[in-house]
């Protein structure tokens, strides 16, 4: 462990580290002094040491530097209300809130089951939520933090013992209602995530997760054996909130989606289905993969196989959970796997660092790792019973919130394939663009659209002029600021609805200079001059204000946003400064703010 340096922490498996190693590595990380990606605070009515060390270490193992702060014991509300408190001064990006029920409302369980009345149970639930809600609401109001709020795991054993399940108002019923009410109370709040402590302690074992000796002695509630699991869950929430996600799962076929080799066993000989333990394991794996599609994760196939055989099995084996239409891209042939993965990324217009690759062959996995280190590779376990859960530890497949666009993501990419097919029939680009009948709606962001706006700011790489990764709290503040306009764009054409595909942040409304702070557009909307239609409208409205004399903008180069390197030049802006990193600052004066030809996009907007 002494030879490990912080810069190589991302190569470690945090679950393989002992408690001593975690503390040692955490001390090294803290001495490193790197600029933190994550500022996380811990507050509640328990002592959080050494959870903070585990979280910092797990974040490092997932490529994120961090700094943590533990608030004063039992005083989260006081610290949040005090502008001079250490918690407020720390300015967390994430606030982990945990309340032990007995510490929150002493004697609550005894008061609840005194009479076993429905009204009393409802009162108790509201009393608990009422004790937590002011802290959460104050945190949202006084900080920019996303709140990670734990629910209640329930007791190790019920006071009524095995008879509790027969009581309509027993402790089992109480905790079920508590957790349901807690989730419902904050479901519409985009900056609150529920950390499912109930599920985690059940998985680990409640009696093993809790450390009564340390709780009585020092108010430390969790056993050290449980801390890696809890830290991992916290890091999942943090990564998803920051947009550190993978967009596409690419799967092998033989001995991965099914047992056996298609070319040898035939479509009815491969093992997937009911009545056979190996077949049932692969059936369950397919169901788990299909569930990822509901999160907005694209599915693709990369397999060394005969294309006709693959088409046949999807046509004949209608008993499989996965169908051919569930895959946004299929690469089947005899090329090397890394070549197929490159073609998939190109076809879907996403980066290689957006891919997760699942395969049963260790040699194939190693070749992909060497050729394409950006791709996250997962080796299928040898034991079929372990295969359905083989993707559970891939953090990039988590999502903080599921939007309408996520539900329709595969269909949108399939529509794009249809558009590309239609494009090949045209020799005139403008003729093709007019044939699409593109219609764009531009409107200010609202509470319902904030989660999608946050996705666009955190996940968009290619069409992102500045790559400013604003938090949900910052976007909320922009939306409420009269001097700003946070706009969302939705597009549709004759092939289908592309959904909410763009966001523009303007600052300085009412001032002589209006700044285009950020401009992001989903990759599936590129190539049809939607950006021209949007900027035409920005010019028209801003220069229609008596106060506005010029528009300012900026391009910050990254490895991924080269497609928009000269966007502002093409839109008539003049370069006023070239930065050492290749970035540029722009100005467009009122007299030069003419709209560019873009009559093939119909735009409807109301935002000033």
Q: What is the pLDDT of residue 512?
A: 95
Q: Within a 10 A sphere around the Cβ of 419, how many other Cβ atoms?
A: 20
- The percentage of residues in the chain with a pLDDT greater than 70, rounded to a whole number, is 97
Of the pLDDT bands very low, low, confident and very high (cuts 50, 70, 90), residue 577 is: very high
Return the higher-pLDDT residue of 174 and 138: 138
Minimal CA–CA distance to 454: which of 482, 497, 409, 488? 488
Mean pLDDT is lowest, of 25-39, 112-126, 370-384, 395-409, for 112-126
CB 466 within 8 A of CB 140: no
Average pLDDT over residues 191-219: 94
- Burial pattern 10-47, b for ≥16 Cβ within 10 A else e, equals eebebeebeeeebebbbebbeeeeeebbbbbbbbbbbb
pLDDT bin (cut points 50, 70, 90) of residue 6 is low
Sign of the alpha-carbon torsion through 380, 385, 386, 391: positive
Q: State phi, psi for 584 to the nearest 5 degrees.
A: -140, 150
At 299-357, the pLDDT tens digits run 999 999 999 999 999 999 999 999 999 999 999 999 999 999 999 999 888 899 999 99
pLDDT interval class at 33 (50, 70, 90): confident
Residue 128's Cα: distance from chain center in Å?
Answer: 30
Cis status of the peptide bond prior to 50, with omega within 30 of 0: yes
Average pLDDT (415-432) is 78
Cα angle at 17 between 11 and 20, to 5 degrees? Answer: 130
Q: Which residues contact 368 (CB under 8 A, 6 or more apart)?
A: 337, 338, 341, 357, 359, 375, 377
In contact, 96 and 42? CB cutoff 8 Å: yes
**421 φ, ψ to 5°?**
-65, -40
Residue 471 has pLDDT above 90, yes or no: no
Q: How far apart are CA 454 and CA 400, in angstroms?
A: 10
Question: Which pLDDT belongs to residue 109?
Answer: 67
Provide Rg for the chain, Cα atoms.
27
Residues 213-271: tens digit of each pLDDT: 999 999 999 999 999 999 999 999 999 999 899 999 999 999 999 999 999 999 999 99
pLDDT band for 117, please (50, 70, 90 cuts): low
Buried b (16+ CB within 10 A) or exposed e, 311-323: eebbeebeebbbe
Distance of CA 198 to the CA centre of its chain: 22
* Nearest-angstrom CA–CA distance, 126 and 132: 10
Q: What's residue 174's pLDDT?
A: 87
Cβ 72 vs Cβ 246: under 8 Å: no
Rounded mean pLDDT, 2-28: 81
Per the CB < 8 A criterion, the answer to whether 75 and 82 are in contact is no
Mean pLDDT of 177-185: 94
Residues 335, 341, 342, 346: what is their CA dihedral angle, to the nearest 10 degrees? 120
Q: Read off the pLDDT of residues 354-390 as tens digits, 9 standing for 90 and up.
A: 999 999 999 999 999 999 999 999 999 999 999 999 9
Q: What's the order of all strands across the beta sheet hosting 376-379?
A: 329-333, 298-304, 248-251, 355-359, 376-379
Which residue has tokens 């359905």?
A: 388
Residue 5 in this model has a pLDDT that exceeds 70 = no
* pLDDT for residue 3 is more than 50: no
Residue 150: closest CA among 201, 114, 115, 226: 201
* pLDDT value of position 110: 67
**Cα–Cα distance, 337 to 368 (Å, whole number):** 7
For residue 331, the SS3 value is strand
The structure tokens listed for 120 are 């009393």
Q: Please state, in angstroms and as integers, the Cα–Cα distance from residue 8 to each residue in 24, 63, 66, 92, 234, following that order.
A: 14, 9, 15, 25, 21
């Amino acid at each position: 462990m002494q030879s490990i340096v912080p810069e190589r922490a991302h190569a470690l498996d945090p679950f393989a580290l002992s408690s001593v190693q975690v503390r040692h590595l955490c001390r090294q990380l803290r001495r490193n002094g790197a600029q933190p990606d994550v500022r996380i605070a811990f507050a509640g009515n328990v002592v959080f040491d050494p959870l903070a060390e585990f979280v910092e270490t797990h974040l490092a193992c997932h490529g994120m530097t961090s700094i943590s702060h533990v608030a004063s014991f039992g005083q989260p509300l006081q610290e949040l209300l005090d502008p001079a408190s250490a918690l407020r001064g720390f300015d967390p990006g994430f606030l982990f809130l945990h309340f032990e029920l007995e510490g929150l409302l002493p004697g609550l369980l005894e008061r609840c089951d005194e009479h076993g009345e429905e009204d009393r149970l409802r009162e108790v639930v509201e009393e608990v939520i009422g004790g937590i809600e002011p802290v959460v609401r104050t945190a949202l109001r006084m900080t920019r933090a996303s709140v990670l709020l734990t629910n209640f795991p329930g007791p190790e054993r019920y006071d009524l013992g095995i008879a509790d399940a027969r009581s309509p108002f027993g402790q089992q019923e109480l905790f079920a209602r508590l957790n349901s009410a807690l989730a419902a109370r904050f479901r519409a709040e985009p900056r609150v995530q529920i950390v499912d402590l109930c599920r985690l302690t059940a998985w680990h074992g409640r009696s093993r997760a809790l450390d009564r000796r340390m709780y009585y002695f020092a108010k430390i509630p969790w056993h050290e054996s449980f801390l890696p699991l809890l830290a991992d869950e916290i890091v999942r929430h943090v990564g998803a909130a920051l947009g550190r996600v993978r967009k596409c799962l690419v799967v092998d076929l033989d001995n991965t989606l099914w047992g056996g080799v298609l070319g040898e066993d035939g479509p009815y000989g491969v093992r997937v289905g009911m009545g056979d333990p190996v077949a049932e394991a692969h059936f369950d794996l397919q169901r788990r993969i299909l569930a990822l599609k509901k999160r907005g994760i694209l599915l693709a196939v990369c397999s060394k196989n005969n294309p006709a055989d693959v088409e046949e099995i999807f046509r004949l084996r209608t008993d499989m959970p996965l169908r051919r239409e569930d895959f946004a891209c299929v690469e089947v042939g005899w090329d090397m796997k890394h070549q197929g993965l490159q073609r998939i990324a190109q076809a879907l217009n996403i980066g290689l660092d957006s891919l997760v690759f699942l395969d049963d062959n260790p040699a194939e996995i190693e070749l992909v790792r060497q050729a394409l280190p950006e791709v996250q590779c997962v080796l299928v376990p040898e034991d079929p019973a372990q295969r359905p859960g083989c993707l559970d530890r891939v953090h990039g497949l988590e999502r903080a919130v599921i939007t309408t666009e996520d539900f329709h993501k595969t269909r949108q990419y399939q529509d794009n394939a249809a558009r590309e097919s239609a494009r090949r029939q045209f020799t005139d680009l403008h003729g093709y663009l007019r044939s699409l009948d593109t219609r764009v709606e531009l409107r200010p962001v609202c509470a319902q659209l904030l989660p999608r706006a946050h996705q666009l700011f955190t996940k968009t790489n290619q069409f992102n002029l500045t790559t400013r990764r604003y938090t949900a709290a910052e976007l909320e503040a922009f939306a409420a600021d009269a001097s700003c306009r946070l706009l969302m764009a939705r597009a549709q054409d004759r092939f289908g609805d592309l959904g909410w595909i763009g966001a523009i942040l303007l600052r300085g409304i009412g001032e002589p200079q209006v700044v285009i702070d950020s401009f992001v557009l989903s990759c599936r909307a590129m190539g049809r001059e939607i950006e021209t239609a949007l900027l035409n409208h920005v010019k028209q409205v801003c220069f229609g204000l008596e106060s506005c004399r010029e528009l300012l903008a900026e391009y910050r180069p990254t490895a991924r946003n080269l497609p928009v390197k000269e966007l502002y030049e093409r839109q008539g802006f003049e370069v006023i400064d070239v930065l050492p990193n290749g970035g540029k600052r722009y100005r467009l004066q009122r007299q030069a703010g003419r709209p560019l030809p873009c009559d093939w996009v119909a735009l409807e907007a109301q935002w000033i």
